[in-house]
Structure 1
Amino acid sequence: MSGESVPQQGGSGQPKGLLQQMEELMAALDADLSALDADLRDASADRAAAPADRAGTGTGTSEGPAPGAGASQVAGAG
């Protein structure tokens, strides 16, 4: 084999060089990462803006007992 790889064809019928392919891939990756970053920032802002809405949802935090955690003790106390 002596460099017989077939280059990708661009929209104009011209073969793309490796550098051009890499630049296009990096641009697409950058756009995807920017969109993901924006989504994560929105989700983080939503969580920070409404901490009371998330209390007691079972997120693994130690904000108190789970719902119904002491119900059997209260029923037998009377």
Structure 2
Amino acid sequence: MSQEAVPSSQPKSLLQQMEELMAVLNANLARLDADLPSSPRRPAPAGTGTGARTDDPDHT
């Protein structure tokens, strides 16, 4: 990994450490997303959606 933590004279707070880790993670995810081939997205398989089913008679 090319980015390594450089020790400083004062320790970082947990919040600062988490923010830095999230920034690195977001950058890595953005790079991975850019590397993926731009193919059309496939629809989710049936039954995995987040909406309520309208064909379920027991659902009110």
With normalisation by structure 1, the TM-score equals: 0.39
Greater Rg by CA: 1
Structure having the larger proportion of residues in helix = 1
With normalisation by structure 2, the TM-score equals: 0.50
